[in-house]
Amino acid sequence: MIGWFVLTAAAARAQTLLPDGALSTQGSQIIDHDGRAVRLACIGWNQVNRAIPLAEQTRLMAANGFNCIRFPWVNATLEHDLPVMDSIVAAAKSAGLRVVFDNHTNEPGHGERDNWGAQQKNGLWFDLGEGSNDTDGGGNPGTTTNAKFLADWQTVARHFAGDQTVIGYDLRNEPLNYPGMSEWGTGSPRDIRLMYMRVGAAIQAIDPDKLIIVEPPSGDCRVVRTQPVTLPVAHKLVYSVHEYPTEISAEKVDSGPDLVRRMTERWGWLINEDIAPVFIGEMGSSMRSRGSRAWADTLVPYLNGKGLTIPEGGQGVSTDWWAWGYLPGQNPDGTLEKDWKTPRPRQLAVYARLRQKPLPAR
C-alpha cells in the first residue's frame, strides 16, 4: 500500500510538470513542441536559504504542484548573480522544474528609500545616460545605460544558450509609466517598447528557443493593441502583468466584478481575442485578511476561465506565486512554515487551484 501511494504521488506530480523541450506560443496559449497547451505554475524565489539543500527545496516545490521558478537578477551584481543562477538551474533540473529569469532592478536594494530592490523607483530599465537623471530614483547613483542593459541580457543569453531548463526571460520587472518614466511607442530614449524589441531580438540572435516575456508599464496592456511588440522569431512573445491585493499593490479595486472588469480591460482581452499569452509574473498574499481572501476568490476563477475565453483544449492563465520560503514579517510571508517543509495552508489553498491540467498523451 505504501509503495502504491508513493507511485501515485509521483505520477500526480509528473502530471503538473512541464514537458521537456522549448516552449512556444499559439494564440493565447503557451505550447510545447507537440502543440499541447501548457501552463506555467511558477514560484517566485529571491531569498535563497542555503542552510537547506537547494535540491531539497526544489523537490518540495514540485511536490506542491509548482513546475517552474521565476528568479531575479540585477545589473550591478550580475557577475555575482550568475553563479547563483547556475545553482538554481541545477537544483531546478534535479526536480524536473523549469526556470524563468527576470531582470529585477539595475541596483541592489538598500532600504526603504529604494523599495529594498522590489521595484526601481525611476520606473525605467536603466539609470544612467540620456533619458535618466543618472540615478535609480531611490538615492543610488546609476550604473546601467541602455547599452549596458542590452549587453547584460546578451551575457545572460549566452550563458544559458541551449540549456532547456531555462525556458524564458522576463525582460524587466514592474516598469512604470508616470511622467518622466517609461513610455510606449514614442521613440524616445524612455520608449520601453523599442527596448523590448531591441533586447528581444538580441537574445533571439543568440538563443531563439527562449520565451521573451515583456511587461507593459504599470501592467496596462491596452497599449499593445495598436503598438504590439514584434520579434524576429515569431511565436515566442508573452505579455506579463502583476496582480496583488490592495494590501500589497495599493490598487483601489481588488475583488468582485470591478476587478474582473479592470483585468479584462487591461490584459484579459489578449486572452479573449486569442492574441497572445499573458503571464501573471507576480501574485500572492499571506492570505490572512478578509480582503486577500476576496481577492483570491475573484482572481483564481478568472485565471481558470470564468470570465475569460480559453480555447478548447487550452490551459488557464500562467502564474507566478510570490514567494518561496519562510519570510516572517513580510507580506507575502512565504509559502512555508518555520520548519521549511510544511506549506502554509491558506496560501496552498489558493495556488493549488492554479496548477497545470494533465496533458494529453503524445
Burial environment of residue 289 by CB neighbours within 10 A (0 to 12, 13 to 18, 19 or more):
middle
Distance of CA 163 to the CA centre of its chain: 19
Cα–Cα–Cα angle for 243, 357, 92, nearest 5°?
A: 70
Contacts of 11 (CB under 8 A, 6+ apart): none
Cα–Cα–Cα angle for 44, 45, 46, nearest 5°?
A: 120
Strands (E), 139-236: 166-170, 211-214
CATH class, 2-354 region: alpha beta
Tell me which residues of the chain have a pLDDT lower than 50. Answer: 1-2, 4-8
- Considering the entire predicted model, what is its pTM? 0.96
Q: Which candidate, 261, 267, 266, 324, places its Cα nearest to that of 298?
A: 261
Q: Convert the pLDDT of each residue in 187-218 to its tens digit.
A: 999 999 999 999 999 999 999 999 999 999 99
Residue 283's DSSP bridge partners are 243, 321
Q: Convert the pLDDT of each residue in 7-39 to its tens digit.
A: 445 555 668 999 999 999 999 999 999 999 999
- Phi-psi map region of 359: left, alpha, beta (phi>0 left; psi -120 to 50 alpha): beta
The pLDDT assigned to 6 comes to 44
Q: How far apart are the first and last CA of the chain?
A: 30
The pLDDT assigned to 294 comes to 98
Backbone φ and ψ of 212, nearest 5°: -110, 115
Burial environment of residue 172 by CB neighbours within 10 A (0 to 12, 13 to 18, 19 or more):
buried
Distance of CA 306 to the CA centre of its chain: 22
Q: Which candidate, 156, 154, 258, 164, places its Cα nearest to that of 209?
A: 164
